[in-house]
């Protein structure tokens, strides 16, 4: 027995005398003397309609073939008599591989996203999440393809780390000590020299610093892996565990960084339109009307680039009444970002050259002495999707930054040595993979584009 995937059956060029499909029943419709089974195996959005006639040996047990059950159907693929599908399978043999009783939580009706989150073990079988995770898989591949085709080296930066990549947020501590009875030093503090790594360790909040190491040997590199932030964030666009893509390029300045960011986003959109078209059409119809139009619009137009200082002037002169008025030296609020990208420019916006005082130590100080070569890419509906910068390659300036931020230079000894031995201008950025998925699918909550969302108070599944 060779299995045919539903996607291939539906795309068959002609009738097939005999084939076997396996999948889960979405719904059953009984007619007099025969039944329709809608079988889905995840290979595509559409179901295969299986006709079970009275002469099929299993027909007398058809009532057991309930929504959610796993089935195997063998028979002839023929042109459908009905409307709505080109092909259907006339079952000669039918096997109830795994029954689903009437408590099956995924009913053939609309469910709320909140409810579906509670049944994360079953929601991939729904239309929406089936599509989301197909797009996610394809997008992962597109990320690698983008960089590999350009000769970028894929670096596996560590997940366990002792460095806190200053400014990136609260960290999850990793320890093997007994929290109820940790070893203590003489002054009563927890003695981390007794811990597994003999010092405090954490889950990574960014692979950037390590990526810089490899940029300084292999020129163009990228990372793509899980990232952990222990912030108590309760928003639709933050997760405690998420996937981040971080390219890092040697001999590259901020302009080159922004060029890559824009090309990258556009190519991911292009790839999705090409290879996930059916699923995107589903989102366009049921999740976010106008999605496809917006994606094509973004694809066709250059991102608008402007310095932070100019952005603040636009905000000040906008006549909008913001909850927090824009002020040079303060970060851009969500409402400011939304105004720029959704109302003023109506397209993705790259804001660059931020005040030095609100950015981390490693960003390169501009000649004006008060801004750094940082850039954020803002996108309608989501806000910040990319954050990046040119890195400070001058050791003396870097040291001044470390001191100004109150950090201990010894903790960054290897990072500093990169500036001692063959230092080069280099730049990179971080793209939130889930935020890109939200942008591509129109799905409004980050918890619905990641298979198993981790947020404060939630590590189920």
Out of 12, 98, 115, 160, which residue is the one contacting RNA (CB under 7 A)? 115
Q: Binding to RNA by residue 247, rule CB under 7 A?
A: no
Out of 124, 225, 307, 331, which residue is the one contacting RNA (CB under 7 A)? 331
Q: Which range of residues in 217-225, 228-236, 308-316, 403-411 is near RNA by CB under 7 A?
A: 228-236
Residues 6+ apart with CB under 8 A from 317: none
Query: In terms of Cα–Cα distance, which of 71, 122, 79 is closest to 97?
Result: 71
Residues 163 and 360: their CA atoms lie apart, in Å, by 14
Q: Which range of residues in 152-160, 183-191, 238-246, 361-369 is near RNA by CB under 7 A?
A: 238-246
Out of 16, 58, 70, 111, which residue is the one contacting RNA (CB under 7 A)? 111
H-assigned helices in 36-154: 113-118, 127-149
Least separation in angstroms between residue 461's CB and RNA is 13
Q: Which range of residues in 231-239, 248-256, 277-285, 413-421 is near RNA by CB under 7 A?
A: 231-239
Q: Binding to RNA by residue 357, rule CB under 7 A?
A: no
Q: Which range of residues in 15-23, 108-116, 300-308, 417-425 is near RNA by CB under 7 A?
A: 108-116
Nearest residue (CB) to RNA, 78 versus 95? 78
Residues 266 and 82: their CA atoms lie apart, in Å, by 40
Out of 45, 117, 356, 364, which residue is the one contacting RNA (CB under 7 A)? 117
Residues 433 and 352: their CA atoms lie apart, in Å, by 21
Residues 175 and 196: their CA atoms lie apart, in Å, by 7
Nearest residue (CB) to RNA, 347 versus 437? 437
Nearest residue (CB) to RNA, 216 versus 332? 332
Q: Binding to RNA by residue 234, rule CB under 7 A?
A: yes
Residues 208 and 169: their CA atoms lie apart, in Å, by 14
Least separation in angstroms between residue 217's CB and RNA is 23
Mask 257-296, x = binds RNA (CB under 7 A)? Answer: ----------------------------------------
Least separation in angstroms between residue 436's CB and RNA is 9
Contact of 354 with 308, CB cutoff 8 Å: yes
Span 1-60, contacts to RNA by CB under 7 A: 27, 29-32, 36, 38, 49, 51
Q: Which range of residues in 187-195, 209-217, 309-317, 329-337 is near RNA by CB under 7 A?
A: 329-337
Out of 387, 394, 395, 400, which residue is the one contacting RNA (CB under 7 A)? 387
Least separation in angstroms between residue 101's CB and RNA is 9
Span 390-449, contacts to RNA by CB under 7 A: 430-432, 434-435, 444-447
H-assigned helices in 276-412: 277-286, 291-300, 308-316, 334-338, 395-404
The 8 Å CB, 24+ separation contacts for 173-177 are 173/200, 173/201, 173/202, 174/201, 174/202, 174/203, 175/200, 175/201
Least separation in angstroms between residue 102's CB and RNA is 4
Least separation in angstroms between residue 418's CB and RNA is 20
Q: Binding to RNA by residue 140, rule CB under 7 A?
A: no
Out of 24, 146, 202, 242, which residue is the one contacting RNA (CB under 7 A)? 242
Helix axes 277-286, 291-300, angle to 10 degrees: 120
Nearest residue (CB) to RNA, 111 versus 275? 111
Least separation in angstroms between residue 303's CB and RNA is 14
CB-neighbour burial class of residue 136 (10 A; exposed 0-12, middle 13-18, buried 19+): buried
Mask 143-182, x = binds RNA (CB under 7 A)? Answer: ------------------------xxx-------------
CB-neighbour burial class of residue 150 (10 A; exposed 0-12, middle 13-18, buried 19+): middle
Out of 13, 17, 84, 188, which residue is the one contacting RNA (CB under 7 A)? 84
Total chain residues near RNA (CB under 7 A): 73
Query: In terms of Cα–Cα distance, which of 53, 120, 64, 121 is closest to 95?
Result: 64
Nearest residue (CB) to RNA, 15 versus 183? 15
Out of 206, 350, 390, 423, which residue is the one contacting RNA (CB under 7 A)? 206
Query: In terms of Cα–Cα distance, which of 448, 451, 444, 386 is closest to 115?
Result: 448
Span 180-199, contacts to RNA by CB under 7 A: none
Residues 344 and 426: their CA atoms lie apart, in Å, by 32
Residues 370 and 357: their CA atoms lie apart, in Å, by 8
First and final C-alpha spacing in the chain: 34
Query: In terms of Cα–Cα distance, which of 36, 58, 59 is closest to 49?
Result: 36
Least separation in angstroms between residue 184's CB and RNA is 27
Q: Binding to RNA by residue 244, rule CB under 7 A?
A: yes
DSSP string, 205-274: S-SHHHHHHHHHHHSEEEEEEEEE------STT--SEEEEEEEEEES--HHHHHHHHHHHHHHHHHHHHH
Least separation in angstroms between residue 163's CB and RNA is 15
3-state secondary structure of 368: coil
């Amino acid at each position: 027995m060779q299995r045919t995937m539903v996607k291939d059956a539906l795309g068959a060029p002609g009738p097939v005398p005999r084939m076997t499909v396996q999948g889960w029943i979405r719904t059953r419709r009984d007619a007099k003397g025969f039944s329709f089974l809608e079988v889905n195996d995840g290979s595509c959005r559409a179901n295969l309609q299986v006709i079970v006639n009275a002469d099929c040996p299993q027909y007398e047990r058809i009532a057991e073939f309930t929504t959610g059950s796993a089935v195997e159907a063998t028979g002839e693929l023929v042109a459908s008599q009905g409307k709505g599908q080109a092909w259907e399978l006339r079952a000669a043999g039918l096997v109830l591989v795994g029954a689903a009783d009437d408590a099956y939580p995924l009913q053939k009706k609309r469910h709320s996203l909140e409810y579906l989150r509670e049944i994360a073990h079953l929601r991939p079988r729904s239309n929406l999440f089936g599509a989301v995770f197909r797009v996610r898989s394809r997008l992962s591949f597109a990320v690698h393809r983008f960089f590999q085709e350009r000769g970028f080296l894929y670096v596996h930066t560590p997940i366990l780390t002792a460095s806190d990549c200053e400014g990136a947020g609260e960290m999850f501590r990793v320890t093997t000590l007994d929290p109820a009875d940790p070893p203590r030093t003489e002054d009563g503090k927890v003695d981390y020299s007794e811990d597994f790594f003999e010092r405090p360790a954490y889950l990574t909040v960014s692979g950037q610093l390590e990526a810089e190491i490899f940029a300084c040997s292999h020129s163009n590199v990228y990372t793509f892996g899980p990232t952990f932030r222990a912030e108590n964030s309760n928003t639709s666009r933050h997760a405690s565990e998420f996937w981040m893509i971080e390219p890092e390029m040697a001999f590259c300045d901020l302009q080159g960084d922004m060029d890559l960011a824009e090309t990258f986003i556009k190519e991911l959109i292009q790839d999705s339109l090409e290879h996930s078209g059916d699923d995107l059409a589903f989102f366009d119809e049921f999740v976010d009307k106008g999605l496809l139009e917006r994606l094509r619009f973004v694809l066709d137009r250059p991102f608008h680039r402007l310095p932070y200082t100019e952005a603040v002037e636009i905000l000040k002169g906008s006549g909008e009444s913001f909850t927090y008025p824009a002020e040079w030296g303060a970060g851009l609020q969500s409402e400011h970002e939304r105004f720029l990208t959704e109302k003023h420019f109506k397209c993705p916006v790259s804001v660059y050259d931020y005040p030095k005082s609100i950015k981390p130590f490693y960003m390169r100080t501009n000649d004006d002495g008060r801004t750094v070569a940082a850039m954020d890419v803002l996108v309608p509906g989501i806000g910040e999707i990319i954050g990046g910068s040119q890195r400070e390659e001058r050791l003396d300036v870097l040291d001044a930054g470390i001191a100004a931020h109150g950090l201990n230079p010894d903790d960054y000894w290897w990072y500093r040595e990169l500036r001692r031995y063959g230092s080069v201008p280099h730049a990179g950025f971080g793209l939130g993979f889930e935020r890109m998925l939200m942008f591509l699918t129109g799905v409004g909550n980050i918890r619905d584009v990641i298979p198993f969302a981790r947020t404060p108070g939630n590590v189920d599944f």
